[in-house]
Chain A
Amino acid sequence: MTKGKVAGIIANLVFVEVDGPVQQNEICYINLGDTKLMAEVIKVMGTQAYVQVFESTRGLKVNDTVDFTGHMLEVSLGPGILSKNFDGLQNDLDKMHGVFLQRGEHTNPLEDDKKWEFKPIAKPGDVLEAAGWLGEVKENWMPHKIMIPFKFKGKYTVKSIVEAGEYTIKDTIAVVTDEDGKDIDLTMVQKWPVKVAIKAYKEKPRPFKLLETGVRVIDTLNPIAEGGTGFIPGPFGTGKTVLQHALSKQAEADMIIVAACGERANEVVEIFTEFPELDDPRTGRKLMERTTIIANTSNMPVAAREASVYTAMTLAEYYRAMGLKILLLADSTSRWAQALREMSNRMEELPGQDAFPMDLPAIISNFYSRAGFTYLNNDATGSITFIGTVSPAGGNLKEPVTESTKKAARCFYALSQQRADSKRYPAIDPLESYSKYAEYPELEKYFRENIDAEWPEKIALARDILIRSREVDEQINILGDDGVPIEYHDRFWKGEVVDFIILQQDAFDNIDNSTPLDRQKYMLDKVLDIYHTDFTFESFEDVGAFFKKVINVMKQMNYSEFQSDKFKENEKELNTLIEERKTA
């Protein structure tokens, strides 16, 4: 392997004089005494490799030795990933010693001696390609497929496979023969470089199914498709993290991967603390059983922050190849972009807008393109739905990360400062935000067949009500409450009903936090009924007073178990209220 010597140091950028070939993105270890600092090649000039070090370079000296590994940053793929807390480089955080993260400490992401209950799927004579399923083990409750390694090219004939039984990830579970007749022993683990997309699938069609999130303003008004992409930009404090946590708790996915990328450690601690206790409503198991966390918080090394999103995506691709439905969340992708900026500035590259690297848009769109719905080679399906947050500097959506992401992601969930200030949570601006999937004929068909034959029209109407409510609100503010006709107040308040009952949702209430689709449809129908009803009012004060009561009763409905006695009682009260005011 190539060796090198440190020739220069600027923060975590180190220049290494090398004695042989190196590859772009190759991993090397710098020897600082007995401590091995992990680093990645990011540029090569003649015999000098520029490496970004994933740990602090304090105390490093010129002429310290460097060992190259011949491979890029890789993750280990095998049973044992689920429910783990990893750092951005897939070190198992729970295995690390001491209170503080010691540099140079690298821990095994998997357990070499743990026994897994293996069941063969393939039989001798079967011909498989990369990602072909050999067998499966139960990881928590999940059928974890053991596959032909993704790196394998061509066809492989299964020569032998072990019987059902207990095996460790290091045991040989199958022998396959390649096209040249060479036998290869396979275990339950394989490695894959994180910056390369895993493409061992047959086809990636346009997404055509809804991914239920339980969040009304998303599912009803701006739906995300299974295998789709979306992003959540918003100034600090507008609810990005609360929304992502809500999605991670409720979304209808087999597995959730949360990449805490350059944000607060206490927010990750919240997941560590709560998820092992919280139930997954769909399986009755604990949420942590379907969750894996990649924690590279803001105080952890910056270069590893960039790696963390790739690590998370690669784990998602691995599980997708097992035919699972993955939801990948990253909070916040801006921190990853900032990590790129810090390095690009240190290398004195020509800066783009706001000193971000010129190729930022390409990097972002390349990353988002790794999500998607796939047909696997065996015709099973698997998907990665990806939703990232963006933290725009100064809350200005015209900054490079937001703009680049807007080009890459198909759903845009803009959090509005104004809505957050008035505690209208989730603060997703219903009119600024959009879902491109809502316009896909595939999805439209899906809605008409699975929710309501008139669904797209109803959604369009709900949007319309909101727009018109906003317009008259402006008029009322200019002309005064009694300077406008009473109908204006009626129109304004009908929009408020949509806002309070459909858009607003209490993420901290055990019932309101998650609304299944049938219930979303039920409530939307109710709200639209009210819209279609004509009411008679004496004065503008009556309008507000009436609709406040309507909103209050409907909120109680949102807080009650669907179709429970309490729900029905409130519904009756609502009907009475409406009857009283209805124009004869």
Chain B
Amino acid sequence: METQAFQKIYTKITQITKATCSLKATGIGYEEMAIVNGRLAQVVKIIGDEVTLQIFSGTEGVPTNAEVIFLGRPPVLKVGEELSGRFFNAYGDPIDGGPAVEGEERQIGGPSVNPVRRKQPSEFIPTGIAGIDLNNALVTGQKIPFFADPDQPFNQVMANVALRADADKIILGGMGLTNDDYLYYKNVFDNAGALDRIISFVNTTENPPVERILVPDMALTAAEYFAVDKHQKVLVLLTDMTLYADALSIVSNRMDQIPSKDSMPGSLYSDLAKIYEKAVQFPDGGSITIIAVTTLSGGDITHAIPDNTGYITEGQLFLRKDTDIGKVIVDPFRSLSRLKQLVIGKKTRADHPQVMNAAIRLYADAANAKTKQENGFDLTDYDERALNFAKDYSEKLLAIDVNVEVDQMLDTGWNLFGEYFKPAEVGIKQEFVDQYWPKED
């Protein structure tokens, strides 16, 4: 860690709490970094000559005569092409045994893009997963989380999406990742031969939780370097944002701030928005797309973390286990990509919106039939057909193990319509029915 000979060393700490320590010092800048007995810390409060430092790895064992050195700068990341293929911790230090990155120093958590310098997102990101591409198409410059219970395979889905998306760089921000999941990502990227376009900033469960707070800003600073300076298409994966928010609440509670809903800090909305709004499409082709994971507890989306997230992101993808087919699917009812209308039927085949809506409507009819069945009412012939359709639809399109091109998803949709319904029941515009309705054979 960096220290320089001429720096003043303070050795008199006046106050220590669970997350912070305070000392008398002058000439210190707000948000400046410091080292307290070798631990990284950041200035969070200055009152007169009393400076309060948040120590990222916690204050356990910090003595009142600890050596405190101020670094004279906010947290930074060195950026350059050399970042590619490397693994870093939350502070941006290598954890892969490789050398430190040489490059231009950039402050993390920098300013926002001027909204008039943005471009409206319009580039489709195919993932092969029909539950996403067909029903919730993703667009470059979008920000969208998976809302998933902790036991669902969101890391696998995300790794697949990342590898199939045609991105110049993939940046992984891991927060509270288990060591196994960390190694999983490493392996998958390695096996896919994609390591050279992947950059990872990882805080695992073995690291102190508060360190996580730095991870999204590190990942996004690297992303901005590639998107703005190099005009590249960058995909940022953030998992798990719930653990990030938990770290925020630990800090604010330890600093005696008044908690708002679900013991989260009152600034949670702004804190999350600052991260997610880094997603952007630039006119020159550079873009940052953010796909995140927000784990739910007991599927509760009214909890402050998913609730604030939903208000910020451009939709959400729900994973759910479909017990009828024994597979995890992308729930077509609760999932939403708010940017899909910018690409479907425009960058994809013209029948896309109609096929999507018709299939979901029929799937809803099946859900109603199922309720009827469970309540012991008789099913009509239509109900029966809808139920059979739903099973096939779930298996062939919604399941997360599907990996096909969009045209094929649409063809599969038409085949299912033809198998179970009459055109009038499907209610798609006549011109598309004429063109795509499966011919009798």
Contacts and interface: CB of A to CB of B under 8 A. Distances in A.
Contacts, number: 162
Contact of B312 (A96, A264, A394): A264
A236 B277 contact: no
A53 to B, nearest CB: 10
Contact of A355 (B113, B114, B266, B334): B266
B261 A393 contact: yes
B120 A269 contact: yes
B112 A101 contact: yes
Interface in B130-183: 141
A60 B30 contact: yes
B28 A61 contact: yes
Interface string A81-101: 000010000000110101111
Number of chain A interface residues as a range: 35 or more
A296 to B, nearest CB: 9
Interface string B9-40: 00000000000000000111111100000000
A571 interface: no
B91 interface: no
Best-surrounded residue of A85, A96, A394 (most CB of chain B within 10 A): A394
A100 B30 contact: no
A342 B277 contact: no
Contact of A237 (B30, B107, B266, B310): B310
B119 interface: yes
Interface in A100-140: 100-103
Given A62-B46, A85-B115, A302 B270 contact: yes
B93 to A, nearest CB: 22
B315 A237 contact: yes
Contact of A94 (B48, B116, B118, B378): B116
Contacts of A393: 261, 304, 307-308
A236 B309 CA distance: 9
Majority-rule SS of A interface residues = mixed
Contact of B259 (A93, A295, A355): A355
A395 B308 CA distance: 11
Given A62-B46, A264-B277, A391 B30 contact: no
Nearest to B256: A348
Contact of A8 (B46, B228, B277, B378): B46
B114 A299 contact: no
Contact of B116 (A61, A93, A300): A93
Contact of B266 (A96, A338, A480): A338
Contacts of A345: 257-258, 266
Most buried by A among B46, B110, B308, B380: B46
B269 A354 contact: no
Interface of B: 26-32, 44-49, 74, 107, 110-121, 141, 228, 257-261, 266-267, 269-270, 273-274, 277-278, 280, 282, 302-304, 307-308, 310-312, 314-315, 333-334, 336, 338-339, 341, 364, 375, 377-378, 380
Given A57-B31, A99-B114, 15 more contacts: A10-B47, A61-B27, A101-B112, A262-B273, A265-B112, A265-B118, A266-B120, A266-B339, A299-B274, A335-B269, A345-B257, A393-B261, A394-B304, A395-B302, A541-B380
24 contacts: A7-B48, A60-B29, A62-B28, A62-B48, A85-B115, A99-B114, A99-B282, A237-B310, A266-B339, A295-B115, A297-B277, A298-B269, A298-B273, A298-B274, A302-B267, A302-B270, A335-B269, A345-B266, A393-B304, A393-B307, A394-B302, A396-B302, A421-B333, A541-B380
Per CB-CB distance, the 3 closest pairs between chain A and chain B, nearest first, are A298-B273, A394-B302, A299-B277
